[in-house]
Structure 1
Amino acid sequence: MDPLLDAQFLPSGFHYSGFYKRLIALNLTNLEPWRILQGQMLIQRTVGLRERYPSRLLVPFARRIDSDAVACWDLDADCDAISVIHDFANSGWEQRERYDDLTCWFRQAVEDMIEFEQ
């Protein structure tokens, strides 16, 4: 399964960061409760987010297994910014968290993993 979207699903000018590609290469895709989206699940979430939040420019890459939280690059904020969206919330109520970049999100995902096991 591929954790990268084909160009047809990506906004113009968007490129996956080197850090994200490194996470994938190191197989750091299961940071329970966070999971990197792959294959058909990634495509379905991408299409669904566009339908549910048409005013947002989001590129999803991970989801929490214990909620409807989805981590996305938020191109409306900044191409490096990561927003955690409560998917399926009413439009305007979906924003939950924002991180400056993927490394900030990843640090929190590791903290979430540690707390999840306790």
Structure 2
Amino acid sequence: MCDLLSGSELPDGFAYPPEFLRVVELGLTNLEPWWIFDGQQLRTRASGLKSRYPERSLVPFARREDNDDVACWDLAEGDVAVIHDFSSPGRELRQRYPDFNAWLRQAIEDLIEHGVRT
């Protein structure tokens, strides 16, 4: 299983959704061009997002390999936000999804499209 953020590293009141944990458990972490974060890369990105966007409460879980997009749970909004990391604060939001499953459906569409282009 992936090395995800532990309970002490996660914001108070947040737990990984069961559908996300199931995807990780199944090893579906490479949805090219999206990759599920784990280990030090996850911790580094979580810390970086917090410092770059201190007004936001984000828990990152995936990155897109062909740009600086990061999929995160947006705790203030209660949904999934795709953040274009390293953008100026206020200009970072790319897309919103109501939940992880909606994001996953789009990630699979991106996988299909990416496979056609390569």
Instruction: Give yes or no for TM over 0.5.
Output: yes
Identity %: 53
How many equivalent residue pairs? 116
1:29-84, CA deviations, whole angstroms, 9 ceiling, x for partnerless residues? 00000000010000000000000000000000000000000000000101xx1000
Q: Secondary structure at the match of 1:15?
A: coil
Alignment of 1:4-83 (within 5 A): 4-78=4-78, 81-83=79-81
Instruction: Return the match for 1:104 from 102, 105, 116.
Output: 102
Report the Cα distance in structure 1 between the residues aligned to 2:65 and 2:8, rounded to whole angstroms.
Answer: 27
Report the Cα distance in structure 2 between the residues aligned to 1:2 and 1:71, rounded to whole angstroms.
Answer: 17
Q: Which runs of 5+ in 2 are unaligned?
A: none
CA apart distance, 1:6: 1.6
Report the Cα distance in structure 2 between the residues aligned to 1:98 and 1:25, rounded to whole angstroms.
Answer: 25
RMSD: 1.0
Q: Secondary structure at the match of 1:49?
A: helix
The residue type paired with residue 17 of structure 1 is P
Report the Cα distance in structure 2 between the residues aligned to 1:95 and 1:52, rounded to whole angstroms.
Answer: 13
Q: Secondary structure at the match of 1:7?
A: coil
The residue type paired with residue 84 of structure 1 is V
1:71-110, CA deviations, whole angstroms, 9 ceiling, x for partnerless residues? 00000101xx100000000000000000000000000000
Runs of 4+ in 1 over 4 A off after TM superposition: none
